[in-house]
Amino acid sequence: MQQTAGSGVHMANGYDPARSVALDPTTADLIRRRDRSLGPSYRLFYDEPIAVASASGLVLTGMDGRTYLDAYNNVPAIGHSHPAVASAVDRQLRTLNTHTRYLTEPILEYSERLLAKFPAPLERITYTCTGSEAIDLAVRIARHRTGKRGLIISEHAYHGTTVTAAGMSPSLGPNNPLGADVVTIPSIDTARTPAADIADRLASSIRSAIDELNERGAGVAALVLDSIFSSDGVQASPAGFLQPAAAIIRDVDALWIADEVQPGFGRTGNWWGFQRHGITPDLVVLGKPMGNGLPIAAVVGSLDVQAGFGAEVRYFNTFGGNPVCIAAATAVLDVIEKDGLVEHAAVVGDQLLTGLNALVDRHDHAFHARGAGLFGALDLGTEDRPDPALASRVVNSMRRAGVLISASGPDAASLKIRPPLPVTDTQCALILETLDAALADEEKTTS
Amino acid sequence: MQQTAGSGVHMANGYDPARSVALDPTTADLIRRRDRSLGPSYRLFYDEPIAVASASGLVLTGMDGRTYLDAYNNVPAIGHSHPAVASAVDRQLRTLNTHTRYLTEPILEYSERLLAKFPAPLERITYTCTGSEAIDLAVRIARHRTGKRGLIISEHAYHGTTVTAAGMSPSLGPNNPLGADVVTIPSIDTARTPAADIADRLASSIRSAIDELNERGAGVAALVLDSIFSSDGVQASPAGFLQPAAAIIRDVDALWIADEVQPGFGRTGNWWGFQRHGITPDLVVLGKPMGNGLPIAAVVGSLDVQAGFGAEVRYFNTFGGNPVCIAAATAVLDVIEKDGLVEHAAVVGDQLLTGLNALVDRHDHAFHARGAGLFGALDLGTEDRPDPALASRVVNSMRRAGVLISASGPDAASLKIRPPLPVTDTQCALILETLDAALADEEKTTS
């Protein structure tokens, strides 16, 4: 069966038809049609994949009429099917949708507004359609700027799907080879490292990686990090632990590329994840939530860092920065500002983290809670023994109870909770209650 | 000034502020704002860039109220601001927009309909957002399948903007390095090669490229060709000249990757450009016109060719195949079928080619006309001396007369005419008349 994951292709929360679960006929039929038309690299979520008919706000409605609270999807950042996005897209799509070799107004208005959210000297923006394309472009710029090839990434990083971005994404598994000039540093495990040591360990890892790239003759073009370490199990605190690393990278004249695809646009309770750490990257990569699901992404950086590349290499992305996707992104910016969603993410995020910590107190196999804003994580297992099987059971149990989350991290034992930003305190409480019940059920089963 | 092209970055029809043309205040202001907010790799079209306010069908309307007949843009394939696309997108955007790890209906319906347009065994589709991402994915699949690294491309090819795709795009200029395992074959110049020799010369070039890649130890993963050779000056005839090349590539167990981003979706008067040549590629890359401007692209291939990659490597593109872009693509398919645009492209394309040939008869400096369907080219200059400066003057003169075309090819001396598919015979006649007048004006000036 085509959708079977091959050996060595473990995906946290991936559907595996070999683990037979009785599926309802509609779902089974959709999977059969999918197997007969889509490429064999596709994977589904959950032991019982969800056939979705519609979505609104934080609620997905299945084809069977069941509803689910979405506590995982960070793409519809301002909520599913937001009418402000639909109206803006409709208006623009009936007026003009062309490319950046003509002058159009929407891209300039949006760029000016968005750039105002960045600290100096982050002052110029280039649009792509996906985070993968944006990471890929940032690498091209960094290599051109430094004349070096080497890239330093985290051990369980995910940065995208192009040849170059996949070569920087060891979390895709052992069959996905690292790029030739890519060196990894160990995943930061903030749950198992004394807080006072985290910054030093990271700095020391980066020094070793620099040495290795220099020995190989590649030199260092850039350090590429997601400041919330989304695929490395969510590593958020203590805020500021990136600062010594930033100094080291600057010392060797390499660039800091901040992958803000996950933490950006308010998710962590700040506009940008790097702000929590008090650093200013050289290039910032934006993606997922930017257009609430319309394909838009970007690279932001200083003119100085990009000038040489820009003078010598033209970059044209046919769909990048088209007026329709820009209209969607503008609506997202409007709603985030008008509804105060950055501040809201901080407030409800505190409620989420407090609740997760209470679960650690209450459940023996809930080992550590952490997060920033609406990006929460809960490690299952014990300090010595992370429990990915338990994480998988809890994720699927919550899905049956109507709340969608997933698992992540090098051990796939960290629950990842990441609802759209407008999650209410009531919805947050429901997520926590459902998780509490799922953990209690597991204890009953195993005791 | 930031938008100045650097040395060695010639772009056919690129705006160069160093060649000072008096711009109206609105245009000048938009360029200033652009220079202050967008990345320095952006380039504009025309000596006097166009500030566009709206577009409908084949007509662009400038901010100054002037209208332009679009005879160049192949992205809005069914016409600018088509209401069928807007309605489909609006409906879907207010209902559901999520990713492919859930089951949704639209992607399956569309995939089944689209795959029915392909010959066996091209039976599975994987979605990306851009042609660049799709080429990049096709390369990943080809390398995984063959265990080889080498890629053969045309000398003036353009395949995209990722690190890997840009490394296969020598038309981006001398500052854009070829990829490590990429070998070029000479551009086919059908205007200057006896028709009977074209297929043999191509075959012979490919044999040499295979030898070179084998000597380097890279082996051959794939030959990647755009069957209309869009950036190589548009090389269309005699149809069938790709067949010996296909046999050679199959002989060495490499893949044929057909880049259908330019010729696909009816442009050449066939659904797919490779059909004109009577070959069946291993992987087909789709892009630009697929969603009439919404970012959607794809790779199509047999299950057999993709199975190994699919079993070992998962591919997830967050926005790839999202229901909203699929809705746009479905509307495009509806309109192409309902309005018979493939047949229409063949019929009006014949009118275009007949007209271009008449211009060759009438104008000394119009040397050769060619094309297929609504993809026409006219070489300016003489057999011995292509004239890019004349091509540039004609393109800008037509822009002043209200008809938008561009130039292309290794010498940038081939006019490229590529209107949206619904171009009427009256509009086609207007394009030809305007071109006739522009060429006549040039003769007056230079005689």
Crossing angle of helices A388-400/A425-446, nearest 10°?
120
Q: Is the pLDDT of residue A2 over 90?
A: no
Tell me whether residues B105 and A30 touch, CB distance under 8 A: yes
For residue B445, the model assigns a pLDDT of 78
Q: What is the mean pLDDT of residues A221-244?
A: 97
What is the nearest CA distance from A383 to chain B, expressed in angstroms? 30
Confidence of residue B102 (pLDDT cuts 50, 70, 90): very high
Which of A82, A97, A292 is the mutation pick for testing B, counting most B CBs within 10 A? A97
Q: Is the pLDDT of residue A400 over 90?
A: yes
What is the nearest CA distance from B296 to chain A, expressed in angstroms? 9
| Cis, bond preceding B40 (omega within 30 deg of 0) | no
Hey, what are B241's tokens? 């000249």
- Provide the percentage of residues in chain B whose pLDDT is more than 70: 97
In B363-423, which ranges are continuous DSSP H helix?
388-400
Tell me whether residues B162 and A164 touch, CB distance under 8 A: yes
For residue B446, the model assigns a pLDDT of 66
Chain B hits for A54, CB-CB cut-off 8 Å, are: 95-96
- Chain centre distance of CA A294: 16
Q: What is the mean pLDDT of residues A322-339?
A: 98
Q: Please, which residues bridge with residue A375 across strands?
A: A372
Q: Is the pLDDT of residue B6 over 60?
A: no
Tell me whether residues B319 and A175 touch, CB distance under 8 A: no
User: Strands across the sheet with B414-417, in order?
Assistant: B366-372, B375-380, B414-417, B406-408
Q: Is the pLDDT of residue B447 over 80?
A: no
Per the rule left: phi > 0, alpha: psi between -120 and 50, beta: everything else, A408 is beta
- Give residue limits of the domains in chain B: 50-78+341-446, 83-338
- Provide the percentage of residues in chain A whose pLDDT is more than 70: 97
Tell me whether residues B163 and A163 touch, CB distance under 8 A: yes
Half-sphere exposure of B135 (CA within 13 A, CB side): 30
For residue B159, the model assigns a pLDDT of 98
Q: Please, which residues bridge with residue A124 across strands?
A: A301
Q: What is the DSSP letter of A40?
A: T
CA atoms of A184 and A63, how far apart (whole Å): 43
For residue A4, the model assigns a pLDDT of 36
Tell me the CATH number for domain B83-338: 3.40.640.10
R_g of chain B computed on alpha carbons? 22
Tell me whether residues A96 and B81 touch, CB distance under 8 A: yes
Confidence of residue A18 (pLDDT cuts 50, 70, 90): confident
Chain B hits for A320, CB-CB cut-off 8 Å, are: 130
Hey, what are B68's tokens? 């332009």
Tell me whether residues B124 and A55 touch, CB distance under 8 A: no
Q: What string of DSSP letters covers A290-350?
A: GGBTBS-EEEEE-HHHHHHHHHH-----TTTT-HHHHHHHHHHHHHHHHTTHHHHHHHHHH
Summarize pLDDT for B173-199 with one digit per residue, the tens. Answer: 999 999 999 999 999 999 999 999 999
Confidence of residue B373 (pLDDT cuts 50, 70, 90): very high
Q: Let me know: does B136 contact B168? Beta carbons within 8 Å.
A: no
Q: Let me know: does A294 contact A256? Beta carbons within 8 Å.
A: no
Tell me the CATH number for domain A50-78+341-446: 3.90.1150.10
Q: What is the mean pLDDT of residues B209-231?
A: 98
For residue B19, the model assigns a pLDDT of 77
Tell me whether residues A172 and B306 touch, CB distance under 8 A: no
Q: If you count residue pairs, one on A and one on B, with CB atoms under 8 Å apart, how many are there?
A: 350
ipTM of the complex: 0.97
Q: Is the pLDDT of residue B71 over 80?
A: yes
Task: Using the structure block, give the residue that is written with the tokens 């792509």.
Answer: A128
CA atoms of A297 and A288, how far apart (whole Å): 7
Q: For B262, name the nearest residue in chain A, comparing CA atoms only.
A: A318
CA atoms of A50 and A68, how far apart (whole Å): 10
Same fold, A50-78+341-446 and A83-338: no
Cα of first residue to Cα of last residue in chain A, in angstroms, is 36
- Lowest model confidence (mean pLDDT) among B10-19, B21-30, B98-107, B437-446: B10-19
Q: A128: part of which helix (H) or strand (E)?
A: strand A124-128
Tell me whether residues B52 and A107 touch, CB distance under 8 A: no
For residue B3, the model assigns a pLDDT of 37
Give this prediction's pTM. Answer: 0.97
For residue A39, the model assigns a pLDDT of 97
CB-nearest partner of A140 from B60, B90, B163: B163
CB-nearest partner of A129 from B93, B295, B307: B295
Chain B hits for A406, CB-CB cut-off 8 Å, are: none
Q: For B318, name the nearest residue in chain A, comparing CA atoms only.
A: A288
Which of A37, A59, A70 is the mutation pick for testing B, counting most B CBs within 10 A? A37
For residue A11, the model assigns a pLDDT of 85
Q: Is the pLDDT of residue B36 over 90?
A: yes
Summarize pLDDT for B135-150 with one digit per residue, the tens. Answer: 999 999 999 999 999 9
Which of A24, A29, A95, A101 is the mutation pick for testing B, counting most B CBs within 10 A? A101
Could you tell me which residue, A447 or B253, shows the higher pLDDT? B253
Q: For A164, name the nearest residue in chain B, comparing CA atoms only.
A: B163
Summarize pLDDT for A142-182 with one digit per residue, the tens. Answer: 999 999 999 999 999 999 999 999 999 999 999 999 999 99
Tell me whether residues B11 and A314 touch, CB distance under 8 A: yes
Summarize pLDDT for A58-86 with one digit per residue, the tens. Answer: 999 999 999 999 999 999 999 999 999 99
Chain B hits for A110, CB-CB cut-off 8 Å, are: none
Tell me whether residues B37 and A97 touch, CB distance under 8 A: no
Q: Is the dihedral of CA B199, B205, B208, B212 positive or negative?
A: negative
Summarize pLDDT for B49-69 with one digit per residue, the tens. Answer: 999 999 999 999 999 999 999
Chain A hits for B95, CB-CB cut-off 8 Å, are: 54-55, 81
Tell me whether residues B38 and A81 touch, CB distance under 8 A: no
Q: What is the mean pLDDT of chain A?
A: 95
For residue A446, the model assigns a pLDDT of 66
Q: What is the mean pLDDT of residues B250-260?
A: 98
Hey, what are B426's tokens? 């009256």
Which of B47, B96, B257 is the mutation pick for testing A, counting most A CBs within 10 A? B96
User: What pairing do the DSSP bridges indicate for beta strands B255-259 and B283-286?
Assistant: parallel
Tell me whether residues A132 and B54 touch, CB distance under 8 A: no
Q: Three-class SS of residue A41?
A: coil
For residue B258, the model assigns a pLDDT of 98
Half-sphere exposure of A7 (CA within 13 A, CB side): 0
Summarize pLDDT for A287-328 with one digit per residue, the tens. Answer: 999 999 999 999 999 999 999 999 999 999 999 999 999 999
Chain B hits for A14, CB-CB cut-off 8 Å, are: 314
- Provide the percentage of residues in chain A whose pLDDT is more than 90: 94
